[in-house]
Amino acid sequence: MAAIKLGTKAVAMVLGKTIHLHNTTKADFLKDERWLKHELCHIKQFKEHGYVGFIIKYIWESIRKGYYNNRFEVEARNAEAL
Per-residue pLDDT of the chain (82 residues; tens, 9 = 90+): 444 455 668 899 999 999 999 999 999 999 999 999 999 999 999 999 999 999 999 999 999 999 899 999 999 999 999 8
Phi, psi angles (nearest 5°) of residue 41: -65, -40
pLDDT at 3: 45
Segments forming the whole domain that contains residue 34: 2-79
- In the chain, the number of structural domains is 1
CA distance 38 to 23: 17
pLDDT at 9: 80
The model's pTM? 0.89
29: left (phi over 0), alpha (psi -120 to 50) or beta: alpha
CA distance 36 to 26: 10
pLDDT at 18: 98
pLDDT at 25: 95
Closest CA to 71 of 82, 81, 60, 7: 60
